[in-house]
Amino acid sequence: MFRRHGVRLVLAAACLVLASGAAAAEPNTFTASSTPSHVKPSSPALYTITMTNGASSDKEADRATIVAPVDFLVAPATVHGSAGATTECVASEWVPEISSGTITLVRAGGNENNRLCPGATLTVQFSATSAAPEGPYTWVTTLFRGDDAFTLSGSEPTVEVDGTAPAITIDVHQTRPT
Residue 116 predicted with pLDDT over 90 = yes
Chain center to CA of 75: 20
Q: What letter does residue 61 receive in the DSSP assignment?
A: B
> For 71-96, what is each residue's pLDDT tens digit?
999 999 999 999 999 988 899 999 99
pTM of the model: 0.80
Judge contact between 64 and 51, C-beta under 8 A: yes
Nearest one of 57, 82, 64 to 139, comparing CA atoms: 64
* 18 pLDDT tier (thresholds 50, 70, 90): very low
- Alpha carbon distances (Å) from 23 to 15, 33, 103, 148, 174: 12, 28, 33, 18, 68
As a three-state string, the secondary structure of 63-127 is EEEEECCCCCEECHHHCEEEECCCCCCCCEEEEEEEECCEEEEEECCCCHHHCECCCCEEEEEEE
Domains of the chain in sequence order: 23-149 (2.60.40)
> For 23-69, what is each residue's pLDDT tens digit?
445 689 999 999 999 999 999 999 999 999 999 999 999 999 999 99
Average pLDDT (141-152) is 97
Residue 173 predicted with pLDDT over 90 = no
